[in-house]
Chains A and B, each alone.
Chain A
């Protein structure tokens, strides 16, 4: 597609349930990132994929959070046994890895707004 697509756009669920968030990056972008943005806060880095592997998982807040990427394309972020503090907007971004890598901007989806009741 033309941009990064995330689904669902909104998700409301009960505490303790598992949720799965999906990200479809821009075609050809080999790098994919997940961020969390809590109300009034900046961006919290969660995880980064290069192809299907995740060289940097340093931002995952707990073992309830996991992510995978298949076929070098779609990624899913899974949160198990959700807690109220997991309520946030989850943003996905992708970029093209070229040159030295650092100069490529990230292209963001519109996010999934997750609310835990």
Chain B
């Protein structure tokens, strides 16, 4: 079985400051990893994904994430945030060779940007 833990339910940061949103996962098999963003009153939108290869993955809106297999982490980072980054961020995993239904989401981290 797989599980995803997002330790921070809320992260407040000042505009133009760097941010890191933490994600740890547990799985007995290899997984694909995703970060989704949800803006107010909208559905989720894919930010980035790790399938294989380089452990540093770049996504949209200047975000990037690093896969660390030994620490089973996939933290999301941005060097300088903007007010428009205010949203909820979800980490998710999907096992290799799985049916498509087996994507497991974390509980989300609400990022609030202060001017």
Contacts and interface: CB of A to CB of B under 8 A. Distances in A.
Given A42-B107, A42-B108, A95 B100 contact: yes
A78 B29 CA distance: 35
Contact of A42 (B42, B90, B95): B90
Contact of B96 (A31, A97, A102): A102
A50 B100 contact: yes
Q: Which of B42, B46, B103, B106 has the most CB of A within 10 A?
A: B103
B34 A101 contact: no
B43 A100 contact: no
B102 interface: yes
B105 interface: yes
A95 B36 CA distance: 14
Given A42-B90, A43-B105, A102-B94, A110 B99 contact: no
A33 B104 CA distance: 13
B86 to A, nearest CB: 16
B45 A102 contact: no
Contact of A97 (B31, B43, B97, B100): B100
- Interface range, A side: 20 to 34
Most interface-central of B31, B45, B49, B100 (chain A CB within 10 A): B100
Chain B interface main SS type: loop
A112 B82 CA distance: 28
Given A91-B43, A109-B43, A41 B107 contact: yes
A95 B102 CA distance: 12
A93 B103 CA distance: 12
B100 A91 contact: no
19 contacts: A4-B43, A31-B101, A42-B106, A43-B44, A48-B99, A48-B100, A56-B101, A91-B43, A100-B97, A102-B32, A102-B97, A102-B100, A103-B94, A105-B49, A107-B46, A110-B41, A110-B43, A111-B41, A111-B43
